[in-house]
Amino acid sequence: HVQLVESGGGSVPAGGSLRLSCTSSRLSIDSYCMAWFRDVPGYEREGVASISSVGYDPIYSDSVKGRFKLSLDFRKKTTVLDLSNLQPGDSAVYFCAAAPRPHGAACELDQRWDWWGQGTQVTVS
């Protein structure tokens, strides 16, 4: 059973920064696609960023490109999402997701994602 655990959410003023982390004790992040999504009440879940450990640059949604950075910490088995220049529109519950890495292709936000964390709240005022 794959369990993803997010941490790092909180409340910040506009322009502030946060670091979200996603850890899995049973998942080798070097063999899987990892991603972050966010939920805002009344809107569809939005893919924020996805990453593969090899061969491809991270993919970002247009709404966060240039402000968010996704990376992998192999030693800690952690996926890290650095959020900067946060705006009130970034307020959401952020979820970590994972899926088997496709052969010869990047990890796309609109692909199937098999495992999800419980979410962590980010509030920007």
Task: Express each pLDDT in 38-66 by its tens digit.
Answer: 999 899 999 999 998 777 889 999 999 99
How much is the pLDDT for 83?
98
Answer yes or no: is pLDDT of 1 > 80: no
Secondary structure letter of residue 105 according to DSSP: S
Show the beta-strand stretches assigned E in 1-114: 5-7, 10-12, 18-23, 32-39, 46-51, 59-60, 68-73, 78-83, 92-100
pLDDT digits (tens, 9 = 90+) for 55-105: 788 999 999 999 999 999 888 889 999 999 999 999 999 999 999 988 888
Rounded CA separation 50/36 (Å): 6
How much is the pLDDT for 47?
97
Bridge partners, 94 (sequence order): 38, 120
